[in-house]
Amino acid sequence: MAEQNKFEYTYSAPTETERREAEEIRKRYQAEPQVGDKLAQLKALDKKAKQPSVILSLTIGILGTLIFGGGMATVLEINFPYHEIVGVAISVVGLVPVALAYPIYRILAKKGKEKYKEEILRLTDEILNEK
């Protein structure tokens, strides 16, 4: 007797909650906001203008703080000849990036604003003048 092959397929549609969650995730991965959503474009441009300066200045400040802390730990905990002098020198080296973090932020933020200024102003004019 010949055996019959059966093919079974089960489909279940996503629930409304699953559909909304999937759409939210999809929106996060879309390259550009949709053309009709000017406010989303404006927020994305503002983020592009600010984010590089914040990331770089925070990174520099944190690294400087860690170096400074390493110098202070050297002064307090490590015992070798002239450990106080070496620890203070390391701490001073750590203070340099800490002191430069904010000026670097201001310079990069200014460049970011200049880079996206015209497009941001155009979008804000369009948003504010719509009725």
Tell me the pLDDT tens digit for each residue of 21-49.
Answer: 888 888 877 765 555 588 888 888 999 99
Kindly state the average pLDDT of the residues 57-74: 96
Give the tens place of pLDDT for each residue, 86-98.
Answer: 999 999 999 999 9
The pTM score is 0.65
Helices (runs of H) and strands (runs of E) counted in the chain: 3, 0
**Neighbouring residues of 52: CB distance < 8 A, sequence distance ≥ 6:** 108, 112
% of the chain beyond a pLDDT of 70: 92
CB 70 within 8 A of CB 94: yes
Tell me what pLDDT residue 130 has: 74
Element (H, E) at 110: helix 83-129
Q: Name the residue ranges covered by the structural domains of the chain.
A: 51-131
Enter the tokens of residue 28: 């996060």
For the chain, the maximum distance between any two Cα atoms, rounded to a whole number of angstroms, is 95
Q: What is the pLDDT of residue 29?
A: 79
